[in-house]
């Protein structure tokens, strides 16, 4: 998008085929601990993604990705009644591991809400768990993840796209979005 995004009703309009945030190859301002084990390298103790606004079916709401390191994504699949949290991690020729977890079933797309996804590391286990929230209220139960998420400062960050690709974008309205980590 250009320097000034269109506005309506106090929200930023992100049109189909547009991507509102794309840092490209610029490093994000965080550094998580690195290990030699690709299954634990750059694992936050807590990871939070939040989006306030209107989302649509099939949207890549928030996407963090680096092909060689991993991905963390919040999206809506073609089924309108689910919000997905998906992730994978890889590195140094190791296989990718990850999951696609859908949970939120009791919400209506096309209305303005605060959508939050919080992943918490299980320090003693192989993965962690993810929780979904709408307007600050927990939706569903904590869902276990088989593996740990990886968050690298080389990730590209996009709203309504993935690595600058907007072929799967939809018309969204955004008041704000937030990404948070705890080392």
Q: How many domains does the chain have?
A: 1
Give a yes or no: residue 155 inside a domain: yes
Token pair 């103790």 is found at 45
Which tens digit of pLDDT belongs to each residue from 95-154? Answer: 656 666 665 656 677 888 999 999 999 999 999 999 988 899 888 888 899 999 998 888
Give a yes or no: residue 1 inside a domain: no
Give a yes or no: residue 150 inside a domain: yes
pLDDT at 31: 81
Give a yes or no: residue 9 inside a domain: no
CATH of the domain at 117: 2.60.120.200
Sheet of strand 7-8, all strands in order from the earlier edge strand to the far edge: 7-8, 11-14, 172-182, 46-54, 113-121, 128-134, 137-145
Give a yes or no: residue 160 inside a domain: yes
- Whole-structure pTM value: 0.82
149 is in which domain, residue-wise? 15-182
CA–CA separation, 153 vs 174, rounded Å?
24
Give a yes or no: residue 157 inside a domain: yes
Which tens digit of pLDDT belongs to each residue from 153-183? Answer: 888 888 777 766 666 667 788 888 888 888 8
């Amino acid at each position: 998008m250009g320097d000034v995004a269109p506005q309506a009703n106090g929200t930023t309009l992100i049109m189909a085929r547009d991507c509102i945030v794309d840092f490209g190859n610029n490093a994000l301002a965080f550094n998580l601990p690195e290990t030699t084990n690709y299954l634990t390298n750059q694992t936050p103790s807590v990871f939070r993604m939040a989006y306030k606004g209107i989302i649509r079916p099939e949207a890549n709401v928030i996407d963090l990705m680096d092909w060689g390191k991993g991905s963390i994504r919040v999206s809506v699949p073609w089924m309108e009644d689910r919000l997905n949290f998906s992730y994978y991690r890889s590195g140094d020729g190791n296989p990718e591991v990850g999951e696609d977890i859908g949970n939120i079933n009791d919400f209506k797309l096309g209305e303005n809400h605060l959508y939050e996804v919080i992943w918490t590391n299980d320090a003693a286990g192989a993965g962690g768990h993810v929780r979904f929230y709408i307007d600050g209220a927990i939706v569903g139960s904590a869902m276990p993840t088989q593996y740990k998420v990886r968050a690298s400062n080389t990730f590209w960050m996009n709203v309504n796209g993935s690595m600058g690709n907007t072929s799967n974008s939809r018309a969204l309205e955004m008041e704000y979005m937030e990404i948070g980590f705890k080392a």
